[in-house]
């Protein structure tokens, strides 16, 4: 039986990343869906960068930005006494950036699909914009929220390159499943690699099945 | 309750289309905003509601400014005590009918009528637990109207409330709309491009053309200015006649309709069967008049009748002649010069020459 520690660490990382991205990504996606700012395409392009860049590029820049001699890294050390690089907190920061498009893009298209109509209707019924967001826009985009959260969670679980560069391979701190598998294969412990790989494979399939099934069941709200 | 006033001064320009509307409306009953598409009706309504911001001007209900470019006042839509009913209802798809009504009720300052009262008035009790996606067009508009009323607005804005409905559904909603000002004390502004709708609902009419106010006044006065051509883009005065299908001529592709004793022929309508009751519309401008039975003429429908009344439209070239054809009265629009040439007078026997007839619906 292989050590299941990396599995729990991975789930913790994916859950924290999804929670943080929900809080940051939803308002950002809402803004993108509503704005007529000329900077919108710029921000959309930046958001989509993690989709096209090799994980090593993101990992490399994050390593530079988060290391204790850089301003952000140093600030974190004075704040918490721990470094961002080669720590769980650093992995969360890296994952938030790496998984950003998986949260923002489905939410943005869900918000855009709603259009201005229901929000104007809510305003004419005396609902403030914040009230209308939570009572009209969010429930109407429920499917977008589910899709975005599930994809973000699943994508974070599948990370390898960024995690390896920013977090290394420290058991209990930064050794997530994908890295554990890599290590098992490198050291020719195929049995353990098999178990963890199968767990990831089945989990990923179930997640995608859930997303597609949910999209089929509620085809109305998200375009 | 003395009537409130809505001061409008809306200036805006976009895409080469500019709007400059200035008028103070007396909010007494229902006011129709009437005009051709592109006249600025919807822009005006959306500006009053706060969904769009005019470039300059002032919008105020009584002393309360909702928008004032000089004083930099621009109340957001949700703070304006105006209820907006959209053409397509815009019910919230994630809520039931009950949920939609509660949404409005919970956010309203409360008012003279209770939620149950509205549910009864609009006969919504059987619909309360339905999902809004399962409602028919007419039901949808009834719920939308009830929802708008439940936010207890001081001003009701209805954007073409009947446009999305067919004739039958319209007749379902119309009685509710007629009742609004009296029953719920809600002064109403509604947009329409249908003169019949306006005639049925409006106490006052604001006539818009090309982004300007063309006329404003009591409905009867405005409607009697019959020359609405520049506004509607066509002359709309017409007669509705009810008759029965009396057969088809398949080779000439014609349908015969019996109106009392007279027979009218029109291009064939295959969906109609013999004996079907139908309603025909004949526009006044499509009816010419002859004093003798015409011969050698392409017009097929010449109905004998007698002049019932003549209304000359001063300031225009036209007069309207009402011709009694037995079971009904046809309207005809001819020039005043023709009236004089033919020596038309009340009671005179004439032939009504009908250039074209349109089929307006089957009566059940």
Q: Which residues of chain B neighbour A128 with C-beta distances below 8 Å?
A: 78
Question: Cβ A125–B51 below 8 Å, yes or no?
Answer: no
For residues B116 and B189, the answer to whether their CB atoms sit within 8 Å is no
Question: Do A117 and B86 lie within an 8 Å CB cutoff?
Answer: yes
Please give the structure tokens belonging to residue A185.
């294969």
Q: How many Cα atoms within 13 Å fall on the side-chain side of residue B354?
A: 25
Helix (H) or strand (E) holding B279: strand B277-283
CA distance linking residue A65 with residue A58, whole number of Å: 10
pLDDT higher than threshold 50 for residue A164: yes
pLDDT tens-digit map of B289-318:
998 888 888 888 888 889 988 887 777 788
Instruction: Give me the residue from B77, B91, B94 closest to A124, CB to CB.
Output: B77
Pair A220, A139: CB distance under 8 Å: no
The tens digit of pLDDT for each residue in B62-79 reads 999 999 999 999 999 999
What residues of chain A lie within 8 A of the CB of B92, using their CB?
118, 121-122, 136, 140
CB B339 within 8 A of CB B218: no
Q: Are B264 and B256 in contact (CB under 8 A)?
A: yes
Q: Under an 8 A CB cutoff, do B147 and A129 touch?
A: no
More confident residue, A81 or B99: B99
Q: How far is A147 from chain B (nearest CA, A)?
A: 18
Residue of A113, A125, A131, A221 to mutate for B, most B C-beta atoms under 10 A: A125
Q: What is the CATH number of domain A5-217?
A: 1.10.3720.10
Whose structure tokens read 């109509």?
Answer: A117
Nearest to A7 by CA among A150, A202, A216: A202
- What tokens does B260 get? 């009392």
CA distance A152 to chain B (A): 25
Q: What is the pTM of this model?
A: 0.71
CB contact under 8 A, A125 and B50: no
Distance in angstroms (rounded) separating the CA atoms of residues B265 and B300: 7
In angstroms, the separation between the Cα of residue A38 and the nearest Cα of chain B is 19
Which are the contacts of B262, defined by CB distance < 8 A and separation ≥ 6?
A: B303, B304, B325, B326
Q: Report the alpha-carbon distance of residue A136 to residue B91 in Å, rounded.
A: 11
Here the tokens at position B64 are: 């309360």
Q: Which residues of B touch A136 (CB under 8 A)?
A: 92, 94
Rounded Cα distance between B223 and B192, Å, is: 14
A interface with B, Cβ–Cβ below 8 Å: 117-118, 120-129, 131-132, 135-136, 139-140, 142, 220-221
- Most confident among A39-43, B112-116, B133-137, B249-253 (mean pLDDT): A39-43
Phi-psi region of B326 (alpha: psi -120 to 50; beta: other; left: phi over 0): left
Residue B298 exposed, middle or buried by CB count within 10 Å (0-12, 13-18, 19+): exposed
DSSP one-letter string for B199-226: HHH-SEEEEEETTEEEEEEEHHHHHHS-
Q: What is the pLDDT of residues B234-246, one digit of tens each?
A: 446 767 677 888 8
Q: How far apart are CA A140 and CA A220, in angstroms?
A: 9
Q: Do residue A129 and residue B107 have CB atoms under 8 angstroms apart?
A: no
Q: How far apart are CA A8 and CA A2, in angstroms?
A: 13
Q: Is A26 strand, coil or helix?
A: helix
> What ipTM goes with this model?
0.80
Say yes or no to pLDDT of A217 above 70. no
B10 and B59 in contact (C-beta within 8 Å)?
Answer: yes
Strands (E), B36-177: 56-61, 64-68, 73-74, 82-85, 155-159
């Amino acid at each position: 039986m292989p050590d299941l520690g990396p599995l729990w660490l991975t789930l913790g990382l994916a859950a924290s990343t999804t929670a943080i991205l929900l809080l940051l990504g939803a308002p950002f996606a809402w803004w993108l869906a509503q704005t007529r700012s000329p900077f919108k395409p710029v921000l959309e392009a930046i958001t989509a960068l993690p989709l096209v860049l090799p994980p090593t590029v993101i990992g490399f820049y994050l390593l530079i930005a988060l290391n204790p001699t850089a301003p952000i890294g140093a600030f974190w050390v004075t704040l918490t006494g721990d470094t961002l690089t080669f720590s769980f907190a650093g992995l969360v920061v890296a994952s938030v950036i790496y998984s950003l498009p998986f949260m923002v893009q489905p939410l943005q298209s869900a918000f855009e699909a709603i259009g201005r109509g229901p929000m104007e209707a809510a305003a004419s019924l005396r609902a403030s914009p914040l009230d209308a967001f939570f009572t009209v826009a969010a429930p109407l985009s429920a499917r977008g929220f589910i899709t975005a959260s599930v994809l973000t969670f699943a994508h974070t679980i599948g990370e390898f390159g960024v995690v390896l560069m920013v977090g290394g391979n420290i058991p209990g701190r930064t050794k997530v499943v994908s890295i554990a598998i890599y290590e098992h294969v490198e050291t020719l412990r195929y049995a353990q690699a098999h178990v963890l790989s199968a767990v990831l494979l089945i989990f990923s399939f179930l997640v995608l099945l859930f997303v597609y099934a949910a999209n089929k069941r509620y085809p109305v709200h998200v375009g | 309750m003395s009537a409130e006033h809505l001061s409008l001064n809306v200036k805006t320009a976009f895409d080469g289309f500019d709007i400059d509307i200035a008028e103070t409306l007396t909010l007494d009953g229902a006011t129709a905003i009437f005009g051709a598409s592109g006249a600025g009706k919807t822009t005006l309504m959306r500006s009053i509601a706060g969904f769009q911001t005019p470039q300059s001007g002032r919008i105020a209900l009584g002393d309360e400014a909702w928008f004032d470019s000089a004083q930099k006042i621009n109340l957001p839509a949700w703070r304006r005590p105006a209820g907006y009913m959209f053409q397509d209802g815009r019910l919230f798809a994630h809520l039931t009918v009950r949920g939609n009504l509660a949404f409005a009720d919970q956010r309203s300052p409360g008012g003279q009528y209770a939620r149950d009262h509205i549910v009864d008035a609009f006969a919504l009790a059987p619909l309360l637990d339905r999902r809004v996606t399962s409602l028919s067009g007419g039901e949808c508009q009834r719920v939308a109207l009830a929802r708008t009323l439940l936010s207890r607005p001081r001003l009701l804005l209805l954007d073409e409330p009947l446009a999305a409905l067919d004739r039958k559904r319209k007749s379902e909603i119309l009685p509710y709309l007629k009742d609004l000002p009296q029953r719920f004390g809600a002064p109403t502004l509604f947009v329409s491009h249908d003169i019949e709708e306006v005639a049925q609902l409006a106490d006052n009419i604001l006539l818009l053309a090309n982004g300007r106010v063309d006329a404003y006044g009591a409905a009867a006065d405005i409607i009697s200015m019959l020359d609405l051509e520049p506004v509607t883009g066509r002359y709309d005065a017409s007669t509705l006649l009810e008759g029965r299908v009396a057969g088809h001529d398949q080779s000439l592709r014609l349908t015969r309709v019996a109106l009392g004793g007279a027979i009218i022929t029109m291009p064939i309508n295959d969906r109609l069967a013999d004996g079907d009751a139908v309603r025909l519309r004949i526009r006044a401008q499509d009816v010419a008049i002859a004093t003798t039975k015409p011969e050698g003429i392409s017009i097929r429908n010449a109905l004998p009748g007698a002049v019932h009344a003549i209304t000359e439209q001063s300031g225009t070239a036209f007069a309207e002649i009402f011709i009694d054809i037995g079971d009904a009265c046809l309207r005809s629009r001819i020039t005043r010069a023709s009236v004089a040439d033919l020596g038309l007078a009340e009671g005179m026997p004439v032939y009504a020459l009908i250039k074209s007839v349109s089929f307006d619906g089957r009566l059940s």
